[in-house]
Structure 1
Amino acid sequence: MATMSANFILFLLTMAACSSVIFSASVVEDLNTLHPPSDFNTTISKNCLLNPSLRYCSTSPMNLIEIFKSSIVASHLCNDSRNPNCVESFPKIDLRSRPNIALLYLSFHFFWKYCPLSILSIDLSNNSLKGSFPIDVLECKQIEALDLSRNDLIGEVSFRIFSDLANLTTLNLSYNQFSESRISDSELFFKRFNSSSFISSGLLPDHRKYRMKVVILLIVFPILVIVLVWFLGWLCFHRPDFLPRMLRRKHKFTPAMLRAATDGFSEKNLIVKCEGVDIYSGVLRDGTEVRIEIYRNGNSREIRNEFIEECKIFTQLFHKNLVKVLGSCHNRRMRALVIEASEGESVDMWLSRSRPPWKQRLKVAKGVLEGMVYLQEQWPAVDYDLRTDSLLLSRKLVPLISRFKLGHQNCSSRNIYKFGVFWFEMIVNRQLRDEIKQDESSFIRNIKTQISKNLQAVINECMELQRESMVNQAKTAMNLALMCTDQSHGHQPNLKYIYDTVTRLSSNQKMQEAEKIRHKRILSRN
């Protein structure tokens, strides 16, 4: 009895407990109807004394119901596995291509818990088993062969679970859908068994995948890096306006940015085209409306260097009567200045289109002088243009000096002369204004002659100088313009005197307007 196999003991136990019962055709039915005999506990204890290696002997406390059920399942499974003499031996579990009962036996966890020691081979192949690896079958630690091939098992397989199966020499996990294991965990395991045990199992490293990874690493990745570097370079050198503001070069614009802002320098965005410069309107990517001046008068290295130095100064100019220079574009093909657009028109267009009264002309002249004073005191090296077609005017009649150039120190005499010409344009009639644009020198000589003869014929008729005080103001303004254009040594007034004179005229005009309004109110009350 001591040499009797575990299976044999269990079968005798089952038969003794159920001597009057013939094995049922259904294991489930037997599990539900058969019950352990009254002396079952005694029999189990004797068996453990005779063979302590029996699995149920090591459990404490013993679950007699589970042990009895496992003996019933073992009886059925031995027969279903086509073992020749299940009373004497139970060497193999063979459920190949029997998906229905294979699933049933795998569900009996208590059987695998007390797996008979006589079982040496388990074959559950070709059963369409789904889910993760059936870990319960590894409770039969004595097995020498295990076949789970041709199923639909998935998930990872930790090869540590096979470490207790010292007798396992044949393993077949082929044709499943396991997840590929890390080489560090599986290298020794794959050496233990032949690679044919893992065909299409998903466990073996897919060399095609590795080849693809090598291709990606050695070819595709460098290409992606090159493309990324190229794209970032393109952004930095062509469209930095797509970068965060902190990464952009301040006051720096590129041809691509200006092209995008002007719809490709379209005709509809062209404001004016004159000698040496094209002026476009545009909208930057952040919504800022700008005026873009593109210079066409040469682009040599010397000219570019001079332009760069000018732009460094122009972007620092800050005054309410100066346009705001946002930046520049300079390379071998383009030189351009980007200026913030003002909602208005040029002074020349304003004089031609409307009939501005005398007080508005004084307001504009005073604003121009304030800008001149700022430049003379803060940036004496900056030269500028005061022609009415280059001076801009906002909708609130704020004049803006818009054309700059680095000049020379002590150029105040030339700037005063330019103001005198500008002042004449603001005062004289349309015919004389046209003469100024054609020949300034002959105009000034002609104006000196006409002023002494007939001031009214010279002054712009739109100003409507109705009172004698206004005529005297216009005469003072004309004399001031003559003084500014007189470049004889010592005859030109300084900028402070000009500013004070225009300010006084403007103040007198305001006082007269206020007096006029007060007089009207008195008359209306009477």
Structure 2
Amino acid sequence: MASISATLSLFLITISTSLYITLSPSVIEDLKNLTPPPDFNSTIQTNCFKTPSLRYCNSSPMDFDEIFKSTIVASHLCNESKNPNCVETFPKIDLRNRPLLAPLYLSFSFFWKYCPLSILSIDMSNSSLKGNFPVDVLHCTQIQVLDLSLNELSGDVDIVSFSTLTNLTVLNLSCNQFAESRISDSQFFKRFNSSSFIHSGLLPDHKKFKIKFVIFLVGFPIFVILMVGCFGWLCLHRPDFLPRILQTKHRFTPSILKAATNGFSKKNLVLKSEAVDIYKGTLRDGTEVRIEIYRDDISRDDCRKFVEECKVLVQLCHKNLVQVLGWCNNRRLRAIVTEWVEGKNVEMWLAVSNPPWKHRLRLLMEVVEGVCYLEERWPEVGYDLRTNSVLLSNDLEPLISRFKVGDQNSSSRRICKFGVFLLEIIANRRPQDEFKTGEAGFVEYIRMHYPGNLQKVMDEKMKLTEITFDQAKQALGLGLMCTDNSRNRQLCFGQIFNIISSVYDSLPSHDHKGSNTDRGKGHKRVR
């Protein structure tokens, strides 16, 4: 038989003579099985009348069931805390080194709400407590000692809740895992020395701070050096990884070209010769490019001229010119990068596709558009008009692809070259392969059969009607005029364009490709 603890002051002294409790095996069973005696409520009210300072007297409305349960928990705590005389005094809750019991008693919030006024010390150190700070304990505002050290408590400590503990003289929160806070700035906590908070996480760890400072002091310069080195490496080798605003326009590095061609793999190799290797590549932004890598060794002055030429070529912008994207001028690698054209060249087109007269005429007209742009805006840029150097896009747009800055050919020489190109389009013949004297022999062959025997020189695959035959005849005459150096006054490209354009417009039914409103003027290709 056990009695209710005398620490409930007058109430407990009175009730101890009238209530007898046989302690059950656990406090949980006692709380569940025991019920208040019949005179419990009147006893509580009498106690509050005599001693109104009792905690349960200040609750409104009174919860007699909670008050009764708190007496049961108090009785158990009195015994668990090994107090010498639980009936007369209950000064201390001692649950240190009790990892199973301490969390149990903390869960009885109603007990802490009506905490007996006689309790002056609470010790729950080394009890494997976890979670947030047990604020319910702070309802015992009269306590003088609170020890929650050597646990695993975490989170923030509510400093405001401690302000009611005016009698607290000993506090130990060391060896926990609280969140760091400026607890030392609080007036209340200035009453305690730093040993109360060792390894609690509440105070800044100066040792850790020094380590962090040393790491920062050493690490930051190393970080800056690494960042500068990385940035410098990117600028020199892979500027395509930099923001677009920091990239050097039109300049490619060997590393960029190597990455674009998968390490100059054979799979990307398009053409290999003694002087140049041509690769297909894909830049980091997905642009497909044609990379011409030159093998010949040139002097420093020639390298400088090469760069100056490339600076001119990247400015060319017309729908009938292959766009030059940039260059690479390195002691290990010299290259020109242009847009990739998936289609074939004109020579292959004539041999395989057997295009009709209408398509050949349109091609001639668009080639002259590109030539007029160069002649008008970039007279210093030369070009190659052979059928194997003029490319065709997927939309069958002709693209002049080979340029030479500072070309010394005169205007009459360029017109003569165009005349040969025009005759090749109509005759579908290869001057260098089929005639001993090359282009001169080819022109003489055409001139010999003009105008009486044109059936022999015209490509029979064009399947000309009477009207288109006359147009082809007129075009052959234009080509011969362009190649006739004995004429006192040779045609200009503007006149040639007008002649071809008027012949094209006279076709009974033609399929215009693109807009011809800007013929003869350069404009940017819509990509």
Separation in 2 of the partners of 1:473 and 1:117? Answer: 120
Q: Which amino acid aligns with 1:342?
A: V
Q: Corresponding residue for 2:344? A: 345
SS in 2 for 1:434: helix
Please, which moves more after superposition, 474-483 or 316-325? 474-483
* 1:382/1:406 contact within 8 Å kept: yes
Q: Corresponding residue for 2:385? A: 386
Separation in 2 of the partners of 1:148 and 1:167? Answer: 17
For residues 43 and 454 of structure 1, do their structure 2 counterparts lie closer, same or farther at Cα, with a shift above 3 Å needed?
closer
Q: Corresponding residue for 1:129? A: 129
Separation in 1 of the partners of 2:338 and 2:303? Answer: 18
> TM-score scaled to structure 1, two decimals?
0.74
Structure 1 unpaired stretches of 5+: 1-6, 514-526
Q: Corresponding residue for 2:517? A: none
Separation in 2 of the partners of 1:465 and 1:87? Answer: 126
Q: Corresponding residue for 2:372? A: 373
1:24 and 2:27 aligned:
no
* 1:299/1:332 contact within 8 Å kept: no
Q: Corresponding residue for 1:92? A: 92
Give CA-to-partner distance per residue, 1:327-375, whole Å, 9 cap, x none.
Answer: 4444554443333333432233345556566665544433322322232
RMSD: 4.6
Q: Corresponding residue for 1:521? A: none
Question: By how many angstroms is 1:439 displaced?
Answer: 5.8
Separation in 2 of the partners of 1:140 and 1:436? Answer: 116
SS in 2 for 1:32: coil
Separation in 1 of the partners of 2:335 and 2:415? Answer: 28
- 1:251-262 alignment runs, 5 A limit: 251-262=250-261
Question: By how many angstroms is 1:158 displaced?
Answer: 3.3
For residues 164 and 464 of structure 1, do their structure 2 counterparts lie closer, same or farther at Cα, with a shift above 3 Å needed?
closer
Please, which moves more after superposition, 401-410 or 448-457? 448-457
For residues 184 and 484 of structure 1, do their structure 2 counterparts lie closer, same or farther at Cα, with a shift above 3 Å needed?
farther
Separation in 1 of the partners of 2:342 and 2:482? Answer: 31
Question: By how many angstroms is 1:54 displaced?
Answer: 5.2
SS in 1 for 2:386: coil
Give CA-to-partner distance per residue, 1:126-179, whole Å, 9 cap, x none.
Answer: 433343322233333333322233444333323444344344333333454x32
Question: By how many angstroms is 1:242 displaced?
Answer: 5.1
Give CA-to-partner distance per residue, 1:410-444, whole Å, 9 cap, x none.
Answer: 9422311221333454456857433779765x648
Q: Which amino acid aligns with 2:483?
A: T
For residues 424 and 256 of structure 1, do their structure 2 counterparts lie closer, same or farther at Cα, with a shift above 3 Å needed?
same
* 2:153/2:178 contact within 8 Å kept: no
Give CA-to-partner distance per residue, 1:34-77, whole Å, 9 cap, x none.
Answer: 342746534432334xxxx6556666777677666656654554
Please, which moves more after superposition, 192-201 or 395-404? 192-201
Q: Corresponding residue for 2:138? A: 138
Q: Which has more radius of gyration?
A: 1
Question: By how many angstroms is 1:260 displaced?
Answer: 3.0
Q: Corresponding residue for 1:44? A: 48
Q: Corresponding residue for 2:413? A: 414
Q: Corresponding residue for 2:323? A: 324
- 1:332-481 alignment runs, 5 A limit: 332-351=331-350, 361-394=360-393, 397-407=396-406, 411-426=410-425, 430=429, 432-434=431-433, 443=441, 450=448, 459=457, 480-481=478-479
For residues 192 and 330 of structure 1, do their structure 2 counterparts lie closer, same or farther at Cα, with a shift above 3 Å needed?
farther
Q: Which of the numbers 492, 498, 505 marks the counterpart of 2:496? A: 498
Separation in 2 of the partners of 1:203 and 1:76? Answer: 33
Please, which moves more after superposition, 138-147 or 476-485? 476-485
* 1:355/1:462 contact within 8 Å kept: no
Separation in 2 of the partners of 1:43 and 1:230? Answer: 82
Q: Corresponding residue for 1:154? A: 154
Question: By how many angstroms is 1:404 displaced?
Answer: 2.0
For residues 300 and 160 of structure 1, do their structure 2 counterparts lie closer, same or farther at Cα, with a shift above 3 Å needed?
farther
SS in 2 for 1:320: coil
Q: Which amino acid aligns with 1:484?
A: C
For residues 439 and 198 of structure 1, do their structure 2 counterparts lie closer, same or farther at Cα, with a shift above 3 Å needed?
same
- 1:70-109 alignment runs, 5 A limit: 70=70, 73-74=73-74, 77-98=77-98, 102-109=102-109
Q: Which amino acid aligns with 1:378?
A: R
For residues 472 and 47 of structure 1, do their structure 2 counterparts lie closer, same or farther at Cα, with a shift above 3 Å needed?
closer
Separation in 1 of the partners of 2:360 and 2:68? Answer: 116
Please, which moves more after superposition, 467-476 or 247-256? 467-476
Q: Which amino acid aligns with 1:485?
A: T
Please, which moves more after superposition, 104-113 or 239-248? 239-248
For residues 89 and 377 of structure 1, do their structure 2 counterparts lie closer, same or farther at Cα, with a shift above 3 Å needed?
same
* 1:380/1:410 contact within 8 Å kept: no
Q: Corresponding residue for 1:170? A: 170
Q: Corresponding residue for 1:314? A: 313
* 2:159/2:183 contact within 8 Å kept: no
SS in 1 for 2:51: helix
Separation in 2 of the partners of 1:54 and 1:376? Answer: 109
SS in 2 for 1:344: coil
* 1:147/1:172 contact within 8 Å kept: yes
Q: Which amino acid aligns with 1:19?
A: T
Separation in 2 of the partners of 1:68 and 1:357? Answer: 109
* 2:260/2:281 contact within 8 Å kept: yes
For residues 115 and 439 of structure 1, do their structure 2 counterparts lie closer, same or farther at Cα, with a shift above 3 Å needed?
same
SS in 1 for 2:413: helix
Question: By how many angstroms is 1:94 displaced?
Answer: 2.5
* 2:382/2:406 contact within 8 Å kept: yes
Higher helix share: 1
Number of equivalenced pairs: 500
Question: By how many angstroms is 1:496 displaced?
Answer: 3.6
For residues 85 and 405 of structure 1, do their structure 2 counterparts lie closer, same or farther at Cα, with a shift above 3 Å needed?
same
Structure 2 unpaired stretches of 5+: 511-527
Separation in 1 of the partners of 2:465 and 2:57? Answer: 130
Q: Corresponding residue for 1:283? A: 282
